[in-house]
Amino acid sequence: MTRYRGIWPVAPTPFHEDGALDLDGMKRVLDCLIDQGADGICILANFSEQCLVSDEERAILTRLCLEHVSGRGPVIVT
């Protein structure tokens, strides 16, 4: 079993002014966290506005994040 170590920030979920998900913004958030040396990334946690997204949007964000990170680091979906 692998132990989690280091810094695992919760990625904020960006939205457009109309409340729609900002998917390009989410990619920029992920890139920034990776570039800053995060050991892993948590998505859809309390800090990331999880209560504001629908189940469909959760699926979209999960897929987008896993595909965009693409092995550059581990991702936890909460």
Residue 14 within any structural domain of the chain: no
Name the domain count of the chain: 1
Please tell me the predicted confidence (pLDDT) of residue 51: 80
What's the pTM?
0.91
32-35: long-range contacts (C-beta < 8 A, 24 or more apart)? 33/9, 34/69, 34/72, 34/73
Mean pLDDT to the nearest integer, 44-73: 90
Confidence class of residue 2 from pLDDT cuts 50, 70 and 90?
A: confident
Residue 12 within any structural domain of the chain: no
Range(s) of the domain holding residue 33 = 23-77
Residue 63 within any structural domain of the chain: yes
pLDDT tens sequence across 30-52: 999 999 999 999 999 876 577 88
Residue 47 within any structural domain of the chain: yes
Residue 71 within any structural domain of the chain: yes
Please tell me the predicted confidence (pLDDT) of residue 46: 77
